[in-house]
Structure 1
Amino acid sequence: MRKPIRTKALLVSLMFVMLFVLAACNSKNNNEGAAPTTAPSANATAEATAAPTAVPEAEDGLFNIKDFTNIKTNQGEAIEGGTLTFGLVSDSPFEGTLNNNFSSGIPDARVIEWFDDGLLDWDANFVYTNDGAATYEVAEDGRTFTFTIRDNVNWHDGKPVTAEDWLFAHEVIANPAYDGPRYGSDFTQIEGMDEFHAGTAKTISGIKVLSEKKLQITYKQSTPSLLTGSIWIYPLAKHIFGDMDVAKISSSPEVRQKPIGFGAFKVESIVPGESVVYVKNPDYWRGAPKLDKVILKVINPSTVVQELKSGGVDLVDSFPVDQFPDNAKMSNVQFLGITDKAYTYIGFKLGKWDKEKKIVAPDPKAKMADVNLRKAMWAAVDNNAVGKKFYNGLRWSATTLIPPSHPEFQDTSNPGVPFDQAAANKILDDAGYKLNGEFRTNPDGSELKINFISMTGGDIAEPLAQYYVQSWKAIGLNVTLEMVEFNTFYDRVGQNGDDDPTVDVYQGAWSVANDVDPSGLYGQDAIYNFPRYSSAENDRLLAEGVSEDAFDVNKRKEIYKEWQQFMVNEIPVFPTLYRAALVPVNNRILNYGIGDGTGLYYNDIAVSADKAVVAQ
């Protein structure tokens, strides 16, 4: 249910050309236009039958994400109203920064999705359409966008969502006192943004409010990313936040305790970090939701199966795929699945974040600065075996930093650094890391002790992290492991700009954007660039990837093929696993899908019975 697909012809020549080229080279099966079917049952109850679709069969104990559907098969007919319970699977509380302009973690994003929307939607090729809460036109120069917010798009308090709100979001993010993670190349691409951020201009010259519902933004150059993700689409309610100190907005009650949006549901109450109760927004611009209420609650990965079987939750944001084989035939749910827009990775700390300049500051003397050490650590781990042993094929070995969710640009011919323990040992030998007893020393003879942190989670989180530690021990590296809960983990790797100097290596995960441009994770001005890596060559490739030349998709593919190989050579991080996303959905839930291509929205969700179906 993240984003629906409703393809629409674009009238502006620039957009039409981009859409045509992308569609021509797109090889994904998006199930575009697919609609859910409804089983002919007029008397559905909490004792409804098992999910009607066959459970994907495992071959040699391994499952394949291609065997799953992403759209729930309806059973029964919708009842009036009803309450849905949604499980946010986490071993720690959600942080509670409940505004898109300030939030950073996936848990908070899952909370926000139920009550807030972006102003633009996109199609099967991740190109912005005119089907969202706002429409847009592009001038012939390809860099001036005029947006029109629909008349019936209102905040939950009844106030209209305005062009001033959209401008205000840009002004807050560009304010030097802003403490969120958004300011970066997507914003500095706007004319006049640099001057406003530096305090030499009182307004952003490239953004103009034309009327209450009409906004114009002029970017410095026309790039393909303007059509696929680099436009900031989340307004900020100026009538609520306009008089606040920017530095205090993210911690305000209006963000933490009583957040506002313009989505299908409104926040009624919050137990911080634990649960949220939403009620329907009858004035939602797409139409009133079919459900009366949604209850979100955090559930631990260790109890997710029990909650699903008992009907304690109707669905969850993600199901631990290591638990799927033992629960594949759960009778009261249907498992949906997609290739996730995500990957897990091992990152190496190579510098710090410069808070004043707001760029990464590489440290050539960092413990992990030697690329030979990083390459050996990549070669020492067998991620094919990890995917099979820990995830039964529902995660699989990753090779580059563009995942298979973007098949136009992922270089499937690139093997990354293959598992080869002998080669790893030779790399270290040749680089001067000598064995001194059980472990190696630095080339200068000093002790080499590597501090590694990983996130807590389900049952396999620590065994998986220990696997990496043992793999590195096998090539003579002394690596100590610390397991850290989600929020603390990201604080320590630097999501707020404070890099913990005791962290040398970390295991993280990224959900990637619709736009293939990786600058938001690896650009020199990206706070999410947690390894703190920067180089002139990386800057060049990232800039070329969003240049006017990159409107030629074949040219853009060449650029990102080169970038993928460059990152394989440099290894500020190395990808470990690509991922399947599995979502079990109770049999009573109607009109639900995951990923792109469903044509379904949150206000479409309904239930066929008052209570969740219980497993037999």
Structure 2
Amino acid sequence: MKKGLKILALSLALVMTLVACGGKNNDAKKETGGNGSATGAETTSFGTVADHGGEAIENGVVRIGVVADSPFTGVFSNYFNQVVTDQILTGYITQSMKIKADGDIRDEDEFHTFKFDQEKKQFIMTIKDTFKWSDGTPVTSRDFAFVYEIVGHPDYSGVRYDSKMQNIVGMEEYHNGEAETISGVETPDDKTLIVNFKEFSPSILWGAGIAYTPEPYHYLKDIPVKEMASHDKIRINPLSCGPYVITKVVPGEKVEYKRNEHYGAEVKNEGLVAEIISSANVLSAMKNGKYDLYTSIPGNIKNQDLASLEGYTTLQYPSNSFLGIGFKLGKWNAEKNEVEVDPNAKMADVNLRKAMAYALDIDAICDMFYEGLRQHANSTIIPKNVSFYDPNAEMYDYNPEKAKEILDEAGYKDVDGDGLREDPNGEKSTINYAAMSGGETAEPVATAYVQWWNEIGLDVQLLDGRLHEFNSFYERVQADDPDIDVYLVSWGYGTNPDPSETYSKYAPFNLPRYTDEKIEEALAHITSNEAFDRDYMVEGYRMFDKAIFDSVPVIPTMFVEEREVVNKRVKFYDVTPSTNEKLNDFGIKDIELTADKPAK
């Protein structure tokens, strides 16, 4: 057996022994299939459309199982929430702009029209009369201008104030308290918003610096910005401009919604219930017919188990996210709104980072656990962004001998003969690796990573000796917890493929807290005026791939395929990715139900 696979098998055996001894009940072990895809079963592939037919009932209630191993935090605002479960739950009460297949904003949809003026460096939005809040108040340009006032406010606690927002005329002056208004955001009337940019880059066409959804000025204007994220008008009773309205929140567990009677398009059902369900309970919930739709099925649930469920159809499509390993290389300076790289950080030596990258057998993990649902990543740019992803980008393959050579040459040597290397100063150094809990594979994969790093002589240990719950994990990573040296990262892209949001010096989402001349040069290339020439922009992405490979602030590990499971009482459901020939607008409002209860 290949060494990487052997380590994985040993890690898995350890976890399954704990299960048998009472760590988890045997039924849960049986339902999740035990060791993922290690059985060598053939991969089952799925389509992107569930067409079950039947006659739709009236006034149904859609039941959604949001698969997650942590409670949601309950921040129902696109400008304050930071975790995917909150974003899913908020999506049912918001109406975002629609995009074309290649990611740029459409000229028109049911609620807005848009115009970009490159010469004047402007974005112009016109709001249609169909766009209303759930209390019947029309959505106005003031509601969109309010977004900029929130995000740019000195007391704003979220992460959306970045280089894209700073590119708006007058935004920095407003943020610094030098101006009471943002001069570049204009509302000439209730239906027109004009945003003026300092520089008009191609990424603006994808939404850089543009408020995708409004915030209700008449409802929130009297709440201090520093209190908004925790206020009941965000957490319990948010207004909706989307298809549904929140009626009840069971903190961390469940959200109930009703149809938004003021929504400007037809909503097929009377209500919706979205409930958190742990990955360990997904299959039993399916067998009992609990939900109509299951989001983001975890990779450890086997395709063959999903395919055997007669009351459901499983759908599969490329994810907007990738997985990786990040290094903590500095801190976020909140006063300056920029990354500060620490040359003395424990992981500051690029050779140490390269060695750790070569030590990981990612192909073994993909083969053993994920049935083709994950592939070894060679870039932080996802394949879904076909215009910019380079399938030939240089990557870190599994090569432990090369890893050892790099460490030897960099001065990391085992001085005392205990099998673990001291740093170039001859000092012992323990590297703390932070990883999230959740699902049957989280522990064996994390254990395998640690063991592979131990195999090349590095003293790497799990932070606090255990895996960490999702919400607390991200709180510590975002707060630059000094105990974290290396961490698991899962990053999802929106419509804008520009990597500045995660790697710019001025991006709060730059979690490695790293930048250098080559990265900034590549980002500037991607966002320059010359980049309106597509070939020039692609060249910038190639520069960016090379800069990340050379500096290794992040090790890209896996690209992800998403799966959703649809109950057969759902008449039709479509997750087909849009193309230039056909745009897919199917959404939550379009679901029709054909029975009173989900099928078992």
Alpha-carbon offset, residue 60 of structure 1: 6.2
Q: Work out whether residues 290 and 603 of structure 1, in 8 Å CA contact, stay in contact via their aligned partners in 2.
A: yes
Alpha-carbon offset, residue 205 of structure 1: 1.1
The answer to whether the aligner puts 1:192 opposite 2:170 as a matched pair is yes
Q: Per the alignment, in what secondary structure is the counterpart of residue 524 of structure 2? A: helix
For 1:58 and 1:552, the matched residues in 2 are separated by 46
Closer, same or farther: CA 177–373 of 1 in aligned 2, 3 Å: same
Q: Please identify, of 361-370 and 587-596, the stretch whose mean Cα deviation from structure 2 is larger.
A: 587-596
Q: Per the alignment, in what secondary structure is the counterpart of residue 402 of structure 1? A: coil
The answer to whether the aligner puts 1:209 opposite 2:187 as a matched pair is yes
Q: Which residue of 2 aligns with 1:537?
A: 518
Alpha-carbon offset, residue 329 of structure 1: 1.9
Alpha-carbon offset, residue 290 of structure 1: 1.0
The answer to whether the aligner puts 1:493 opposite 2:471 as a matched pair is no
For 1:526 and 1:250, the matched residues in 2 are separated by 20
Q: Work out whether residues 229 and 513 of structure 1, in 8 Å CA contact, stay in contact via their aligned partners in 2.
A: no
Aligned residues: 551
* AA aligned opposite 1:605: I
For 1:426 and 1:142, the matched residues in 2 are separated by 55
Pairing of 1:540-551 with structure 2 (within 5 A) = 540-551=521-532
Q: Per the alignment, in what secondary structure is the counterpart of residue 391 of structure 2? A: coil
For 1:538 and 1:229, the matched residues in 2 are separated by 22
Q: Over residues 370-394 of structure 1, what are the superposed CA-to-partner deviations in whole Å (9 max), with x where a residue is unaligned?
A: 0111000010011111111111111
For 1:215 and 1:201, the matched residues in 2 are separated by 20
The answer to whether the aligner puts 1:171 opposite 2:149 as a matched pair is yes
Q: Work out whether residues 87 and 317 of structure 1, in 8 Å CA contact, stay in contact via their aligned partners in 2.
A: yes
Pairing of 1:500-511 with structure 2 (within 5 A) = 500-511=481-492
Pairing of 1:334-373 with structure 2 (within 5 A) = 334-373=313-352
Q: Which residue of 1 aligns with 2:23?
A: none
Alpha-carbon offset, residue 529 of structure 1: 0.9
Q: Over residues 443-464 of structure 1, what are the superposed CA-to-partner deviations in whole Å (9 max), with x where a residue is unaligned?
A: 1100021001101111111111
* AA aligned opposite 1:613: A
Alpha-carbon offset, residue 58 of structure 1: 13
Q: Which residue of 2 aligns with 1:601?
A: 587
The answer to whether the aligner puts 1:298 opposite 2:284 as a matched pair is no
Q: Over residues 261-303 of structure 1, what are the superposed CA-to-partner deviations in whole Å (9 max), with x where a residue is unaligned?
A: 210011010011110000111221122x111111111111000
Alpha-carbon offset, residue 139 of structure 1: 2.6
Alpha-carbon offset, residue 591 of structure 1: 3.2
Q: Which residue of 1 aligns with 2:100?
A: 123
Q: Per the alignment, in what secondary structure is the counterpart of residue 435 of structure 2? A: strand
Pick from 555, 567, 570 the counterpart of residue 589 of structure 1.
Answer: 570
For 2:79 and 2:404, the matched residues in 1 are separated by 46
For 1:568 and 1:226, the matched residues in 2 are separated by 27
Q: Which runs of 5+ in 2 are unaligned?
A: 1-36, 579-583
Alpha-carbon offset, residue 324 of structure 1: 2.3
Q: Which residue of 1 aligns with 2:27?
A: none
Pairing of 1:141-290 with structure 2 (within 5 A) = 141=119, 143-230=121-208, 231-287=210-266, 289-290=267-268
Q: Which residue of 1 aligns with 2:385?
A: 406
Q: Work out whether residues 567 and 599 of structure 2, in 8 Å CA contact, stay in contact via their aligned partners in 1.
A: yes
Q: Which residue of 2 aligns with 1:576?
A: 557
Q: Per the alignment, in what secondary structure is the counterpart of residue 300 of structure 2? A: helix
Q: Work out whether residues 342 and 512 of structure 1, in 8 Å CA contact, stay in contact via their aligned partners in 2.
A: yes
Q: Work out whether residues 53 and 572 of structure 2, in 8 Å CA contact, stay in contact via their aligned partners in 1.
A: no
Pairing of 1:320-331 with structure 2 (within 5 A) = 320-327=298-305, 328-331=307-310
Alpha-carbon offset, residue 571 of structure 1: 0.2
For 2:315 and 2:101, the matched residues in 1 are separated by 19
Alpha-carbon offset, residue 236 of structure 1: 1.2
Alpha-carbon offset, residue 321 of structure 1: 2.2
* AA aligned opposite 1:153: F
Q: Which residue of 2 aligns with 1:484?
A: 468
Q: Which runs of 5+ in 1 are unaligned?
A: 1-56
Q: Over residues 107-158 of structure 1, what are the superposed CA-to-partner deviations in whole Å (9 max), with x where a residue is unaligned?
A: 100111111122x210111111111521112235162121111112111111
For 2:329 and 2:63, the matched residues in 1 are separated by 43
Q: Work out whether residues 118 and 200 of structure 2, in 8 Å CA contact, stay in contact via their aligned partners in 1.
A: no
Q: Work out whether residues 395 and 580 of structure 1, in 8 Å CA contact, stay in contact via their aligned partners in 2.
A: yes
Closer, same or farther: CA 302–226 of 1 in aligned 2, 3 Å: same
* AA aligned opposite 2:586: L
For 2:505 and 2:572, the matched residues in 1 are separated by 42
Alpha-carbon offset, residue 79 of structure 1: 1.2
For 2:274 and 2:524, the matched residues in 1 are separated by 41
Q: Over residues 556-579 of structure 1, what are the superposed CA-to-partner deviations in whole Å (9 max), with x where a residue is unaligned?
A: 111101111110110001111000
* AA aligned opposite 2:591: I
Alpha-carbon offset, residue 343 of structure 1: 0.4
* AA aligned opposite 2:436: M
Q: Per the alignment, in what secondary structure is the counterpart of residue 148 of structure 1? A: strand
The answer to whether the aligner puts 1:378 opposite 2:348 as a matched pair is no
For 1:175 and 1:359, the matched residues in 2 are separated by 16
Q: Work out whether residues 380 and 472 of structure 1, in 8 Å CA contact, stay in contact via their aligned partners in 2.
A: yes
The answer to whether the aligner puts 1:515 opposite 2:496 as a matched pair is yes
Closer, same or farther: CA 59–483 of 1 in aligned 2, 3 Å: closer
Q: Which residue of 1 aligns with 2:92?
A: 114
For 1:271 and 1:58, the matched residues in 2 are separated by 38
Q: Over residues 10-36 of structure 1, what are the superposed CA-to-partner deviations in whole Å (9 max), with x where a residue is unaligned?
A: xxxxxxxxxxxxxxxxxxxxxxxxxxx
For 2:197 and 2:236, the matched residues in 1 are separated by 35
Q: Work out whether residues 317 and 577 of structure 2, in 8 Å CA contact, stay in contact via their aligned partners in 1.
A: no
Q: Which residue of 1 aligns with 2:596?
A: 610
Instruction: Give TM-score scaled by structure 2 length.
Output: 0.90
Q: Per the alignment, in what secondary structure is the counterpart of residue 187 of structure 2? A: strand
Alpha-carbon offset, residue 59 of structure 1: 13
The answer to whether the aligner puts 1:315 opposite 2:301 as a matched pair is no
Q: Which residue of 1 aligns with 2:43?
A: 63
* AA aligned opposite 2:404: N
Q: Which residue of 1 aligns with 2:13?
A: none
Q: Per the alignment, in what secondary structure is the counterpart of residue 93 of structure 1? A: coil
Q: Work out whether residues 133 and 263 of structure 2, in 8 Å CA contact, stay in contact via their aligned partners in 1.
A: no
Q: Work out whether residues 545 and 556 of structure 1, in 8 Å CA contact, stay in contact via their aligned partners in 2.
A: yes
For 2:258 and 2:576, the matched residues in 1 are separated by 24
Pick from 455, 466, 472 the counterpart of residue 453 of structure 2.
Answer: 472
Of all paired residues, the percent bearing the same amino acid is 36
Alpha-carbon offset, residue 229 of structure 1: 2.5
Q: Per the alignment, in what secondary structure is the counterpart of residue 439 of structure 1? A: coil
Q: Which residue of 2 aligns with 1:391?
A: 370
Pick from 534, 538, 541 the counterpart of residue 560 of structure 1.
Answer: 541
Q: Please identify, of 597-606 and 84-93, the stretch whose mean Cα deviation from structure 2 is larger.
A: 597-606
Closer, same or farther: CA 218–274 of 1 in aligned 2, 3 Å: same
Instruction: Give TM-score scaled by structure 1 length.
Output: 0.87
Q: Work out whether residues 81 and 606 of structure 1, in 8 Å CA contact, stay in contact via their aligned partners in 2.
A: no
Q: Per the alignment, in what secondary structure is the counterpart of residue 432 of structure 2? A: strand
Q: Which residue of 2 aligns with 1:133?
A: 111
